[in-house]
Amino acid sequence: MVRLFTRANAYQLGEDTPVKSRCAKTKGTWCADFFRQAPVEWKPAPRGDNQCPDKCNNVGRCNYDTGYCDCPAGWTGTGCKTRQKRPCTNHFRTPEDPSTVPRSHIGPDKRDLNWTEPGVTPSRCYGICDDDLGLCYCDGPLGRIPAPDDAPAGTPPRQRGRPLMNQFEQPSTTYDGKPTWGGETAYEKVYGPEGYCNVTRSAWKPSCGGPEDLGGEYCDQPNEAFCPGACSGHGSCYLGFCVCDDGYYGHDCARRKAGLPLLPSTISGRPWVSREVHEPLAAREPPPQPSRRRPLIYVYDMEPMYNAKMLQYRHASAWCTHRHYTSGNKTVYSPWCYGVESGLHEYLLLSEHRTFDPQEADFFYVPIYISCLIWPVLNYADFPVFYSNGGTRVMHAVNMLAEARDWIDANYPFWKRRGGRDHIWTFPHDEGACWAPNSITSSVWLTHWGRTDPQHMSKTSFHADNYTMDFVSPRQPKGYTHIIQGHVCYDPKKDLVIPIWRPPLHYARSPLQGAPAKPRDIFLFFRGDVGKTRSMVYSRGVRQKIYNMSIANNWKAKYNILVGDGQDVQGDYSDLLSRSLFCLVATGDGWSARTEDAVLHGCIPVMVIDGVHMKFETLFDVDSFSIRIPEADVADILTILKGLPQERIQAMQANLGQVWHRYRYANLPGIANTTRATMASNAADPLAQEAAALSKSSATRFPRPFRGDPAVDDAFATIIQWLHSRIPDTR
């Protein structure tokens, strides 16, 4: 039996903590240099006064820096005067022949023309379609009543109605019993005399999975929706798009038009919002303090199609963001492992490192929501696509990124200034930036996939993500792969492999979080997809081989090695990790989430991935707290681990205790509050107190809880500190 030993967590992490302690186990001087830099003067934010045409048609918001209008879903073009519809299956192809010519299937009254006609897509609507968003609402007394056709632009519907969010909630038959295409709920439950769309309190209730701003028992009560930074308390959130108060502007309404006085933020008056965010520090006048540390980062106000509209188009509120709201304005930290995309965006909007002055900026952050596009948005309806229906998800993502770079270059002068070297792009997707367009290879890439081989091919088993497979369309007669070929997936000289998003409760039972320490009685642990029905392309065959060896040799009974999927290995995931000595980290279709799971629970990561950098490998001495086994030696994994000296195991455990907090995202106010509450609750547990007392009197010491502020030196802060070291290389 082996217990986790640490000696390091006694130090407190805070501004008064010695640099040596805060920079434990780091490689090079990047960490110390950040803390020892000379602060720079914090100047008041510049404010623009360029007018926009015709008040953006009363639907968009004016960017007073550029004089351009940012348009919400349903609108586009100069002055937001062009309609940009997203109909509910307005065009469709039959499942039998996806190449058939699209046909109109929605009438001018926004109703499906024929419920019984073949043609199924997720957005098919047997009610009233909101064709700005592609969302379906009830027909009937509690249904949607659109604004009149001759109403001024921006007029809201006369009645929003109750939503019918997905095929499972659509009626399975017409009123006279004819089968519909795709509906799975009895007609009477939806449209009967006592149905959901007809009476205030019906027997049947839908799932209320979205839209996010509707909650309650019957999905019709107003609810907060997620916008990064909560529109700074100077606007309202329209499902991801900030509608700014008069005179305020920007993606998050953080800035005030020149010559107008600043107004108090409404964030403090909404406790469910103020718990999660605060007004951006960079927007305050005078600045909150005389000076601040570099790097200074300018966050682009992008064309909304690249971020805000992706949030508006998502048909499930729990997808593609790091947090979302549920009924009663309760915040949920999403298990969505790609959440660093919105999380990093929100962090930078609030951070003291944000600047509104591009002339003083060290970096330019490009907030693009690719994971929203390729998971909940793409293929839900016929729009948006980049650039044609069909093709791989990667094709659409590549084109979206390339188009976003061109948009920046056309609207701002800063790309040309340094050839894009000071621009930052985030790649949380399975195969990272392997498929990034060549036009952005000079930039800094934050990725989860540290693959280093120069001649790389896609190794995903998921057809839709295979970036090696080309697709020809009228917009791209040569295909798209020629615009991504010739660059590495990750360059350790300019890029950084960052941890994936894990919500705070994911590791709540970790002893490093103050939960009761347990004996490390599980020798080797892995729970997840072990490729039972996959080809050997998946995980490069590693998970399959280890799983088969464990079954064939009865490792569970002999050594208490738990390897398998949820059927094979049952129990609380965080608890199992907290009891494990070694944790397998093997690739799936790309990066593995198991590095973070292991480190956050004090389990020694066992890396079986050739040619791939571990998260933060260029920053920390990862060999001091992890084991790396070549894929060719996977058959000997048990012999290798059994042969490790006890002294080395204890040293790795001690080293884990000095770095683990840098693998969690805990800086945002609400997440920090949740983490503090978890730490306090764990500390009050009698079992934790007993373990702490035992550790003081025993030669074998249990893991000690992290006692510093969780908002300090987390993963976000680590990225910022590293970016400071990169400033000279961007010039």
* Phi, psi of 188, deg, nearest 5: -60, -35
Confidence of residue 731 (pLDDT cuts 50, 70, 90): confident
Q: Give the residue extent of every domain in the chain.
A: 11-37+516-709
Instruction: Give per-residue pLDDT as tens, 300-343.
Output: 999 999 999 999 999 888 889 999 999 999 999 999 999 999 99
- Angle of helix 669-683 relative to helix 686-697, nearest 10 degrees, comes to 70
User: What's the confidence (pLDDT) of residue 9?
Assistant: 35
Residue 258 burial (CB count, 10 A): 13
Q: Is residue 26 pLDDT above 90, yes or no?
A: yes
Mean pLDDT for the stretch of residues 665-673:
94
User: What's the confidence (pLDDT) of residue 261?
Assistant: 96
Residues 508, 515 contacting (CB under 8 angstroms): yes
User: What's the confidence (pLDDT) of residue 8?
Assistant: 34
Residues 262, 256 contacting (CB under 8 angstroms): yes
Average pLDDT along the chain: 92
Question: Contacts by 692-696 with C-beta closer than 8 Å and gap 24+?
Answer: 695/517
- In the beta sheet, which residues pair with residue 323? 333
b/e sequence 157-175, b meaning 16+ C-beta within 10 Å = eeebbbbbbbbebbbbbbe
Q: Is residue 101 pLDDT above 60, yes or no?
A: no
Q: Give pTM, 2 decimals.
A: 0.94
Question: Distance (Å, rounded) from C-alpha 199 to C-alpha 207?
Answer: 17
Provide the token pair at 695: 């550790």
Confidence of residue 706 (pLDDT cuts 50, 70, 90): low
User: What's the confidence (pLDDT) of residue 688?
Assistant: 63
Q: Is residue 547 pLDDT above 80, yes or no?
A: yes
* Phi, psi of 210, deg, nearest 5: 165, 165
Nearest to 464 by CA among 565, 586, 373: 373
Instruction: Give per-residue pLDDT as tens, 563-595.
Output: 999 999 999 999 999 999 999 999 999 999 999
HEC secondary structure over 95-109:
CCECCCCCCCCECCC
The DSSP annotation for 163-206 comes to B--SGGGSBSB-TTS-B-SS--B-HHHHHSTTSTTTSSS-S---
Question: Distance (Å, rounded) from C-alpha 71 to C-alpha 82?
Answer: 10
Q: Is residue 692 pLDDT above 90, yes or no?
A: no
Pairing of strands 128-130, 135-137: antiparallel
Instruction: Give per-residue pLDDT as tens, 360-405.
Output: 999 999 999 999 999 999 989 889 999 988 899 999 999 999 999 9
Mean pLDDT for the stretch of residues 47-61:
96
Provide the token pair at 145: 């009543």
Mean pLDDT for the stretch of residues 537-543:
96
Q: Is residue 2 pLDDT above 70, yes or no?
A: no
Provide the token pair at 255: 């800035």
Which residue is it, tokens 């820096």? Answer: 65
How much of the chain, in percent, has pLDDT values that exceed 90? 82
Rounded to the nearest 5 degrees, what angle is found at the Cα of 526, between the Cα atoms of 522 and 528? 145
CATH class of 11-37+516-709: alpha beta
* CA–centroid distance for 305 within its chain: 17
Q: Which residues contact 567 (CB under 8 A, 6 or more apart)?
A: none
Question: Contacts by 454-460 with C-beta closer than 8 Å and gap 24+?
Answer: 454/488, 456/488, 456/489, 458/431, 458/434, 459/431, 459/537, 459/540, 459/587, 459/589, 459/590, 460/430, 460/431, 460/537, 460/589, 460/590
Which segments of 484-593 does DSSP mark as H helices, in order? 542-552, 555-559, 573-578
HSE toward the beta carbon, residue 573, CA cutoff 13 A: 14
User: What's the confidence (pLDDT) of residue 102?
Assistant: 52
User: What's the confidence (pLDDT) of residue 704?
Assistant: 59
Which residue is it, tokens 């959130």? Answer: 237
Question: Distance (Å, rounded) from C-alpha 364 to C-alpha 342?
Answer: 16
Q: Which residues contact 553 (CB under 8 A, 6 or more apart)?
A: none
Instruction: Give per-residue pLDDT as tens, 125-136.
Output: 999 999 999 999
Question: Distance (Å, rounded) from C-alpha 545 to C-alpha 540?
Answer: 10
b/e sequence 534-557, b meaning 16+ C-beta within 10 Å = beeebbbbbbbbbbebbeeeebbe
HSE toward the beta carbon, residue 457, CA cutoff 13 A: 6
Q: Give me the torsion for CA of 308, 313, 315, 316, rounded to 10°.
A: -10
Instruction: Give per-residue pLDDT as tens, 186-216.
Output: 999 999 999 999 999 999 999 888 799 999 9
